[in-house]
Structure 1
Amino acid sequence: LYLENSFGKIFIKGNEKKLRHLKMIYALKYIYLNEEELRYIEKLFFFQKDILLILKNYLSGQNVKRCFDILKTFEKKLKIKFEKEFKNIIFIYLIVTFERIEKGHILLKKNNWEFLKNTTYYKIIQKDVFKNNNSYMYEALHLSEYFLSGHNSESFYENRFLIDSFVCKLLNILSEIKIENLIDDKEFLEEIIEYLTAAIYRVKNNFILNYKLELDENEDKVYDKISKNRNIINKYLKEPLRNEEFMLIAKIICKHLRKPKIEKIKLNKILEIIEKNSEKPLLSTIKKELLGLYPNLIEDNIKTNKQLSLLDVITEKDIKFARCYDIKELIDISISNLYENSFIEREFIDSLHMMLEKKEFDYIDNENTLIFYGKETKYNKKLGVSIIFNEENIKLENKEIKYFILLSNVDKYNYLGVMRDLQKIIEENRLKELSELQSQKSVIERIAKIIA
């Protein structure tokens, strides 16, 4: 791509595919899908607001419904469900593609067209999108490859030898850390191959889904091992996998390692335990015997129902020292923290701004504190908290806001322990004390002393 000055105006010129990709990437900063509705991401600065107006004007001239219908057609015909992040990307790319085609910029080549022409994606696109017009054959081929980067529904795949070689090398590396049973796991092999096919197309077309991943202890160990050997594994692929892809591979591996062996519960054993404890039934004894007999088949959900404390949830990255002059700016900092760390869905942003408009928040006068917590859990992935200490007071209606707390609760129970600790801090007027500390670490240490 390059810039060209023509009659006093600057234009971007160059490779058509790269130009479309640039438009898509830029639009992703400002718009996203919410179910079947196009939403705009609220921006703070004037130049961003100007770009939003330009983008809205651009989209007003596009057939947005057509792009929604294409996504629904694929999901219905292939009986699949695309991930939200992929939907955002492919939806915007479809808009850009049709806009460029209408202006006469049509793609006329595709390197791996022989393979792509045999895929179900190509057949659907050619028939339902381009009405079997061969003038758009290469457009259909390009779109087929992009859809393959979101989901591989085929029973065959391109570069089979390379992918199989990758998987074999991966299994060899896993055997070095005593993980040897996956080679006989058909479900694992099918999933990892299907995943790799889509991942390769993502990398090839520079589709970054921005997965927000957190690994548990076992996943982290597996990731560490395969990541150290990524150069050895990647050499089998034409397109080296990115860091996020290796994290996902570690999650797939551990998911299959956790699968319990199927075992039938023996009825006579259960009846024996019940009969033995029938005269003086003691639930703790019965529970212990049943868990001892069937440790992999019974989930002990009793022990998990405990209140979480603020210290169980909050980390240093959840604490910010800011200098904001607008309440929306303050809220956006909190939202971005929870969203980037996979605590909330993107739709949570809309619900929060709506709550602000309706004044559905808690305000504590003695500490100039605003608290938001989700009234619904459907947009929350896990329990999280974000605390902002602002340097200046911000006016909201007739209130002065200096501290802001945002909670993402996933149920109606566990988050209450966190709320209890926050309430203690606020009621004892300790937020000012915390805001004067020098670091996030010292804030957490002080919180531990306050709620002890």
Structure 2
Amino acid sequence: LKYIYLNAGKINYVSNLFFFQKDILLILKKYLEKQDTYKCFEILKTFEKKLDIAFEKEFKNIIYIYLVITFERIEKGYVILKKNNSEFLKNTLYYKVIQKDIFKNNGVYMYEALHLSEYFLSGYNSENFYEDRFLIDSFICKLLSVLKDIKIRNLINNREFLEEVIEYLRAAIYRVKNNFILNSEIKLDEIENKIFIEILQYKIKMNTYLNEPLRDEEFMMISRIIYKHLIKQKKEKIKLKEVIQIIQKNSKNCYSDLIAKELLELYPNLIENDIDFKKQLGLLDIVTEKNIKFTRCVDIKELIDLSFNDLYDNSFIEVEFTESIHKMLEDKKYDYLDSENMIIFYGKELKYKKELGVSIFFNESVMKIDNKKIKYLILLSNVDEYNYLGVSRDLQKIIESVKFKELEKLNSEKDVMRKFEEVIQGGESGF
């Protein structure tokens, strides 16, 4: 994934690499030249056509690599002979298509088909997470608050930890939705178990943010992630700042940011990142009175277009961003839709977002989406998970503290902004 990506049915190789990476690229090229890459492209096209879906580009890159390796393994005589959750997977349309179109209904490859079914199912299911996106963010914010309560404060602003928890939680929710259970018996050591017991006291509160509660085993895995990052922080490491200073002192043209990124990727356990990065942004960093509007729209598309124009005029997004939102609306996929008549869209196409921005609309008329009433709209152009989590935290605080129907009564952008400041600044800064 670091060296190749797919585009228009072709393999593309990343060009801006360091000298030592170019050797790896040559190895990859020689390997892929021997594989039936056309066959893998055709499988992806078949799936999208037969199931009338469009996979995300990132997923296509991953599943393409997996397909290449799968067929090479089968040709060498190594065939998978078992699969958990097989009864569930056999009833999916993915399995039927894979068995018929890829393995020609050959029973020898039944378990291969089941494995591929789960991969394809999880790839498309990731798009369906978007209606839960704000709920996931809220769960994580609550988890960070719990860590503060149990005196684990040094992970609260650890970007690497936050990103791993976000990724883990998405997979965990997928398992819960499809009634999958983690295969291996989880055994925690003494400290991991202590963290688990502490977190378990808050399980009910954290689960209230999710449509389907996480099982204890998922909380055990989260406890293990917490412990892993605590240990990571304690290990003695090389100071990144010192390494960069040595490079700068001995180099005429030194691209410090690129070198720092590469060093951290290559030696994450050896180098301590002691370089100051920008603090995590919150709602007050991106919202002004200009981004808060009171309207009288009767159609949800009209309201969305007004909100889109607000972000576009402030150079937060590209014009194509609106197509992504209209498609989500058409497919009835929302980042968040609650009982208080509020709908939130983040949008899926990252390439059309230029900067983190928000547009908040209070609408006088009530509109209906999927038999649910809508009055309030939030459109957020998130450009990275770390910062939009901070914005989500503040939105969560406002939704829980004052409710949007109370804010609407203020009937003034200035008063709403003042209330935002009062609620957000009333608590501690950060998590």
TM superposition score category, shorter chain reference? 0.3 to 0.5
Q: Normalising by structure 2, what TM-score?
A: 0.37
Q: Which has the higher contact order (CA 8 A, sep 6+)?
A: 2
Q: Normalising by structure 1, what TM-score?
A: 0.35
**The structure with more radius of gyration:** 1
